[in-house]
Amino acid sequence: MVYVKFFCNISGEMFFLFKVILRINVYDKFKIICKGEMFMKVRAEKLSKPLFVLLTKSLLMILLVVVGLHWSSSQQHLISIGDKPAMAEQGFIRPANISAVVKQTAPAVVKIETVVQSEVEMDPFLNDPFFRQFFGIQGVPRTQVQTGMGSGFIVSEDGYIVTNYHVIEGASQIQVTLATNKQYRARVVGADRELDLAVLKINPEGKLPTLKFGSSDRIEVGDWVIAIGNPYGLDHTVTVGVISAKGRPVNIGDRRFRNLLQTDASINPGNSGGPLLNLNGEVVGVNTAVNAKAQGIGFAIPSSTVASVYNQLITKGTVAHPYIGVNIQPSQDQRGVVVSGVAPDSPAMTVGLKPGDIILQFNGKTLTTPQELIDAVDQTQPGQKVTLVVVRAGQSKEVQVIIGDKSTRRI
């Protein structure tokens, strides 16, 4: 006897077992007996050997066709799944996400227009004493009026607005235009030139839409951000980009910033003071500057900085700037920081710090980089006494320093 078994999976959901047993007997007649478990017993009688081979090949061909059809069906099933539109994963950026954030936040963004008045001589020749004596005319000053424009955003329902200091610097009049086109006169509640931040106040008739501060510390390089502002007077312009870098030291005019966010979202003149938003609609930065010599390089003040001084600005009108009055640079062996200069009449000069001194510790904290000393000083308050460990000529000593307060500080 010869037995041949075939197994095939007819579908992905049901398994059938076929046991085909071919029994050869030259004197028997061909019979088929089926049992309940899909058992087929094929009995052949009086079949020649070539006929048996032909029958076996035929059964094999049928089996291959069945398996092939099942494989093709499974592949079509896989393709149909892959062709379906993929569902967006959490955090995946789609146009709908951005438009939803803009609809939610844009009503709290405002346009700020300023008027700056200054007195100038009518004619430069009148500054010359010869001409004044010859013509008998005294110099007559005239008032020159300049206008400026920027952006801001509302942070309280009763009308407190955050913007840049340079947007309202020297302004005699400040006008705020809401998204509803309502206009209000604004007054400066607090301002800080060094941080380039200011808080304005308007008196609205009702409650205003507001923006909340998010965490600029948690945002990462590559995260998407949205800038809303009024570049060149184009109200509520929206641009999108990513965080290109964090902690950028940047010099803007005579201001020195140490910890700005860099973004490739388009920031143009007029965007200053507007919000830089994450995809939750939270403020992670205040747009402050753009590199005029390059494209796609803008900067924003981190929200952590803004939130930390906001209460000081609205309650005191100014921000305390702790400093000790030294210029510093990294040490070659990353052991402490090297004093490269001492400011006149500073706390550092009072205690006798000199160029070349190495500051190893600040209030018990070991220092390895200049930024660590800067951060440590920023966390103190003016009038607070701190202890420095200083090395001079190979000898270390402790020095007690009283933190000073200076609007423009070396540290």
Positions annotated as catalytic residues are 166, 196, 272
Q: Give first-to-last CA distance, the chain, whole Å.
A: 100
Q: Please, is 205 exposed, middle or buried when counting C-beta atoms within 10 Å of its C-beta (0-12, 13-18, 19+)?
A: exposed
355 vs 76: CA distance, rounded Å: 77
- In three-state secondary structure terms, 307 is helix
Q: Please, is 197 exposed, middle or buried when counting C-beta atoms within 10 Å of its C-beta (0-12, 13-18, 19+)?
A: buried
Residue 101: phi and psi, rounded to 5, are -65, -40
| CA 361 to chain CA mean position, Å | 33
Q: In terms of DSSP H, where are the helices of 84-221?
A: 95-105, 129-135, 165-168
List, in sequence order, every beta strand (DSSP E) within 202-312: 224-229, 237-252, 255-263, 275-277, 283-290, 298-302
Give which of 407, 410, 360 is closest to 387, Cα–Cα.
360
Q: Which amino acid is it at 176?
A: V
DSSP 214-235: --TTT--TT-EEEEEE-GGG-T
For residue 277, what are the β-bridge partners? Answer: 226, 283
Residues 16 and 6: beta-carbon distance below 8 Å: no
Please give the DSSP secondary-structure letter assigned to residue 355: T
Q: Which amino acid is it at 398?
A: E
Residues 17 and 7: beta-carbon distance below 8 Å: yes
- In three-state secondary structure terms, 66 is helix
Please state the length of the chain. 411
